[in-house]
Amino acid sequence: MNTRLTRRRFIGITAAVVGLASVPFIRHGRNGTIPLQTAEAVPEPTVWRGIALGADAEMRLYHPDRRFAETLIGKAVAEIKRLEKIFSLYRDDSALSLLNQTGRLNRPPADLLALLSQSRNMHRLTQGAFNPAVQPLWNLYAEHFALHPHSRTAPAQTALQKTLALVDFNAVSFDSRSVSFAKPGMALSFNGIAQGYITDRITDMFRHAGLEQALVDLGEIRGLDQTRSRTWRAGIRNPDDETAVLMNVPLQNQALATSGGYGTYMDEAGRFTHLFDPHTGSSTPRYHSVSVTAETAAVADALSTAFSVSSRKNIQAAAEQTTGLGIWLVERKGMLEKL
């Protein structure tokens, strides 16, 4: 078992970029493309593929000057690396790792403060279902199953309750001078929003540079089309069959994120996932997967995470307060429901 995998390595998204009336390719599980038909009206993109925050990533830039596009890609890759040094849990020198180690970080980077602010908004919107302070739960489950890999049960209730006391995002204070925890032993994880935040930053970078069309997939998918002449389609994948697409979602200047507990299991039998309910400590999501479209990738990312452990009533309450959302739930039996 490798609990270092992020939830984005196996999310239920396939992606396709399309013209107004054509579908030149569809990508399955980030493992390559399967041509469907030619599309003469769609120019050949300049493509970059790599790794971002531990997951497969891809950028497609549509511009007639390939050198211009390649220069932008170089700047984007440098920006991704810079942001990873702030948000990564797996780099000992990242700002987040230093904060988790000491419980305090002086002179925090502006991007960390921006992400904390967005996280606070998502925490309130989802009635606490989105909670970056769940990292102690991850640590508890990871340690439990490292010692008992064949266990059929969650960590002991006493340990779970003790850990839940640390899952308190309201005990995180932050301003331009410092970020600090009110309780020793707290730790943060931005795995439920950082990829969306970085996707937005890169998309905004392309827009400000004058690029009119791009598809950015850094774990979350966001389309950029300032001409409004192109639509991208992202397929919501069947969690039980990587080759099957349950539904194609059109995207134009929107983002799509999918969360599914099947992305990373904590135990060898696959009974316990990486998606934790911050209220109960349970690691069994209510749904097989949740997909959300939103105006920004950070919002789609955070809400797909939160909705995985939320009731339909609470999902609807959050949706009523947020414009431009699309929400799809995949039940355990593979049934897709649009809210």
The annotation places the binding site at 192, 301, 305
- CA dist 76 and 97 (Å) reads 23
Please check whether residue 45 is in contact with residue 17, taking contact to mean a CB–CB distance below 8 angstroms.
yes
Which parts are annotated binding residues for Mg(2+)? 192, 301, 305
- CA dist 273 and 159 (Å) reads 18
- CA dist 231 and 228 (Å) reads 8
Please check whether residue 122 is in contact with residue 193, taking contact to mean a CB–CB distance below 8 angstroms.
yes
Nearest residue to 156 via CA among 168, 140, 167, 142 = 140
